Amino acid sequence: MKDIDVIAVLQDPVRRRLYEYVAAQGREVGRNEAAEAAGVARTLAAHHLDRLTEAGLLESGSRRLTGRSGPGAGRPAKVYTRARVERSVSLPARDYRTAAELLAEAAEQAGLDAGLCAAARGRGESLRGDTAPCGGLDEAMELLAARGYEPHLEEGEEGEGSEGGQGAVVRMRNCPFHAVAERFPPLVCGMNLALLEGLIGTDGPVRARMDARPGECCVVVEASKSNQH
């Protein structure tokens, strides 16, 4: 199925609500949960969820939603997650990804990491304009959402790279540079971090730092050290 046909599948308003709900969860979603969130009957939700799966927008599997196993645990239920495949349509046809990959390859080979990060930080500052650095995580999440990062808040995180902090951390389910980052991770992830440092500021109450996790953006945002208690 061509990308333009896949995207056309989302024209149905119920189907689009179901897709947006599943995509926003960052985990497996069952038919009952999706139907309730979209305000439709389970049978209708099942039809549209399977249609989204056929189009390649969702991936499906099965597991027991009760969390139990063995006799009496019930039959596995069908669950859905957003597909990792990227879809795009350009009319007339354009191929910006190839251009981006070629530029990234040339920058990596020439050792231009520092220059790229400086340019990215400057672009972030330009996008922020004359406004002060982000005043808090809520404001940072609004900025990140507007740029397609799909931020979500995780409370009380303590893990590798968190420097012992247990405060809230903003993680991002989407990396806008995912396709190029897969091929050139150090270069592109460093650029992404610098861009977000410029966008949210480095001398305010929040900061961006690197903390890669599979399936998510390599950068997280948290309260700066001086604001952690």
The predicted structure's pLDDT at residue 155: 84
Q: What is the mean pLDDT of residues 76-104?
A: 92
The lowest-confidence range among 114-128, 150-164, 187-201, 203-217 is 150-164
Q: Which helix (H) or strand (E) holds 35?
A: helix 31-38
- Rounded to the nearest 5 percent, the helix, strand and coil shares of the chain are 45, 15, 40
The predicted structure's pLDDT at residue 159: 44
pLDDT tens-digit series, residues 119-157:
999 999 999 999 999 999 999 999 999 999 999 999 864
Radius of gyration over alpha carbons of the chain, in Å?
20
The predicted structure's pLDDT at residue 75: 77
- Model confidence, pTM: 0.81
Structure tokens at 198: 């410029």
Query: Quick one: pLDDT band at residue 68, thresholds 50, 70, 90?
Result: low
Q: Does the structure show a pLDDT above 70 at 171?
A: yes
Query: Quick one: pLDDT band at residue 164, thresholds 50, 70, 90?
Result: very low
Q: Which residues pair with 80 in a beta bridge?
A: 29, 60
Averaged pLDDT of the chain: 90
